[in-house]
A and B are shown apart, each in its own frame.
Chain A
Amino acid sequence: DGGITQSPKYLFRKEGQNVTLSCEQNLNHDAMYWYRQDPGQGLRLIYYSQIVNDFQKGDIAEGYSVSREKKESFPLTVTSAQKNPTAFYLCASSGYRGLAYEQYFGPGTRLTVT
């Protein structure tokens, strides 16, 4: 059963702690993405990776870090430098279908920092 998995679904952390969100895909996609979604808002791009061992900052990368050591995995670390980390985090990968690339999303991780 192909797809994208994110874990955990809910995550609670104390302020000042780093936390890592997991994202795994078995779709054999080269490109992977992390988005942040705040209540009632659209998605904002945090980081993206077009290929293993390479990644680029998105629109709101400050306070976040990523790695892409394997094609299947693209973990996101929310550092203590992120001023407002409580949000819903979505991971996606991109694959060619038909005539263009489409994004496939994981179920998301809801992070609450208190």
Chain B
Amino acid sequence: SQQGEEDPQALSIQEGENATMNCSYKTSINNLQWYRQNSGRGLVHLILIRSNEREKHSGRLRVTLDTSKKSSSLLITASRAADTASYFCATVASGGYQKVTFGTGTKLQVIP
């Protein structure tokens, strides 16, 4: 069953603007990861945040995690046309093997 639900489903912004997408999940996690998928391609890992972390940065990416609300957000600052892609959150459950459950994705379009 799908663990993560992303919001919004689709987002269209102008180049230079910030893009924020949100992810909610249902059960306890060990960590949460964000992936990017260009149309018709495989997924590429962007950033990982552990359950005991609240915020993480990587270049123009900023991820927050609120375990009390079971939610995460991905912020892309100063967006570029090349950021156009689908973005997925993925949760890794606590304990047991490393089962990764993906959300439904946010489709981002950055207009030049």
Chain A interface (Cβ within 8 Å of chain B)? 4, 6, 31, 33, 35, 40-45, 48, 50, 59, 88, 90, 92, 94, 98-108, 110
| Min CB–CB distance A62 → chain B (angstroms) | 15
Contact B42 A100 (CB under 8 A): no
Min Cβ gap A53→B in Å is 16
Chain B interface residue number, banded: 20 to 34
Count, A-B residue pairs, CB within 8 A: 67
Q: How far is the CA of A107 from the CA of B35 in the complex (A)?
A: 14
Interface SS of chain A: helix, strand, loop or mixed?
strand
Please classify the interface of chain B as helix (H, G, I), strand (E, B), loop, or mixed, using the class held by over half of its residues.
strand
Evaluate contact between A43 and B48: CB separation under 8 angstroms. no
Assess the B100–A103 pair: CB atoms within 8 A. yes
* Other-chain residue from B42, B98, B107 in contact with A101 (beta carbon distance below 8 A): B98
Interface residues of B in 41-60 (CB under 8 A from A): 41-45, 48, 50
| Residue B102 interfacial (CB < 8 Å) | yes
- In the complex, chain A residues whose CB is within 8 Å of the CB of B45: 102-104
B residues whose Cβ falls under 8 Å from a Cβ of A: 1-2, 4, 30-31, 33, 35, 40-45, 48, 50, 88, 90, 92, 97-105, 107
Q: Which residues of B contact A44 (CB under 8 A)?
A: 2, 102
Point out the residue from B48, B88, B90 that lies within 8 Å of A98, measured CB to CB: B48
A4 to B4, CA, bound (A): 25
Q: How far is the CA of A8 from the CA of B97 in the complex (A)?
A: 30
Counting from the closest, the 6 A-B pairs by CB-CB distance are A105-B42, A43-B102, A42-B104, A101-B98, A105-B43, A42-B102
